[in-house]
Amino acid sequence: MDPIHIAVVGLGKIARDRHLPAIAGNATFSLAATVSPHDTGLDGIPHFASLDELLEQGPAIDAVSLCTPPQVRYDLAAQALKRGVHVFLEKPPGATLSEVVALRDRADKVGVSLFAAWHSRFAAGVAPARTWLAERTIEKVSIVWREDVRVWHPGQAWIWEPGGLGVFDPGINALSILTHILPRPVFLTNATLSIPANRAAPIAADMHFRDTAGAEIHMDLDWRQTGPQSWDIVVETDAGTLKLSSGGAVLALPSGTEHNEDLEYPGLYARFANLIRGGRSDVDIDPLRLVADAFLRGRRVSVEPFID
């Protein structure tokens, strides 16, 4: 079977650290080109300043991975779909719910695959956590997702602009796990968003949810954490406590703890290949919908300016 010829659009930190190694490690894919107006590309791989240029002048491609900021992703995805090119959307899949739904509908009409890639769902502990929780009564959930923005997003001004999500850029990873592992739907009851006086997006958020059976869920997001970082989800059930830590890579159950290797981006590309080969799409908007609900219903408080 011929490989899937894929282009990576956007060559920032996430593309170089995660996407390119995952593509190189998957024989189903062949890296055909890269696209970025701000980068010179990779040795031996055709490079283009824009997706327009690649589609008009470059080698034939079957798929693109869009690793750009979400604010510009819709037009790129729509352009690729119009050419019959399969599209991988780095999280969050777009700057608004409406544009992601429009892309999903367009992909269905033209018969190509669209993948909203929630990488944290592919952390090694998430699938077994989902299986274990399916047979339990959920009593209470606590999420602590705290990290240092200066370490993970140095100098990235776009992330503080409307559509960039601020602290929800990492926080949506926790929501992608939460909505995947709990057996019932979740909805927001209230939230407080802490927004630096000189920024448009929050640096912290305190959020309360319930599932449809009434279980209380609390989420503590903060981008001001220094030292050890916290990416933990604790679920109290009728059969004991489950804990996912290290962003979902470590699973602790009443029966013991499993430490697992990093499987996220290799898992994403295996899933993308299966979607393409099967002629299907996977566009779950639940995590983004909860973020939108936070902006819709959350109370905003101004905090001290953030200087990068």
Which CATH superfamily hosts domain 4-117+265-282? Answer: NAD(P)-binding Rossmann-like Domain (3.40.50.720)
- How many other CB atoms are there within 10 angstroms of residue 199's CB atom? 18
At 274 the pLDDT is 97
Q: Which of 91, 109, 140, 243 is catalytic?
A: 91
Share of the chain above pLDDT 90, in %: 93
pLDDT in tens, 39-75: 889 999 999 999 999 999 989 999 999 999 999 999 9
pLDDT in tens, 226-264: 999 999 999 999 999 999 999 999 999 998 877 777 789
Predicted confidence (pLDDT) at residue 30 exceeds the cutoff of 90 = yes
pLDDT in tens, 96-132: 999 999 999 999 999 999 999 999 999 999 999 999 9
CA distances from 114 to 76, 81, 195, 201, 279 (A): 13, 9, 33, 28, 10
286-297 and 168-181 helices cross at what angle (nearest 10)?
120
- Average pLDDT, whole number, for the chain? 95
Predicted confidence (pLDDT) at residue 184 exceeds the cutoff of 80 = yes
Encoded amino acid at 119, one letter? H
> What tokens appear for 68 in the block?
């750009």
**Side-by-side strand order, sheet with 204-211:** 256-259, 250-253, 240-245, 230-237, 138-146, 216-222, 204-211, 186-196, 299-303
Classify domain 121-262+292-303 by CATH number.
3.30.360.10
Q: Is-catalytic flag, 91?
A: yes
The whole-angstrom distance between residue 245's C-alpha and the CA centroid of its chain comes to 17
Predicted confidence (pLDDT) at residue 300 exceeds the cutoff of 80 = yes
For the chain, give every residue range classified as CATH 3.40.50.720. Answer: 4-117+265-282
pLDDT in tens, 81-98: 999 999 999 999 999 999
DSSP state string for 231-253:
EEEEEEETTEEEEEEGGGTEEEE
At 308 the pLDDT is 86
At 303 the pLDDT is 97
Q: What are phi and psi of 254, to 5 degrees?
A: -55, -25
For the chain, give every residue range classified as CATH 3.30.360.10. Answer: 121-262+292-303
At 34 the pLDDT is 97
At 262 the pLDDT is 74
Local structure of residue 158 (DSSP, 8 states) = G
Determine the length of the chain: 308
Predicted confidence (pLDDT) at residue 155 exceeds the cutoff of 80 = yes
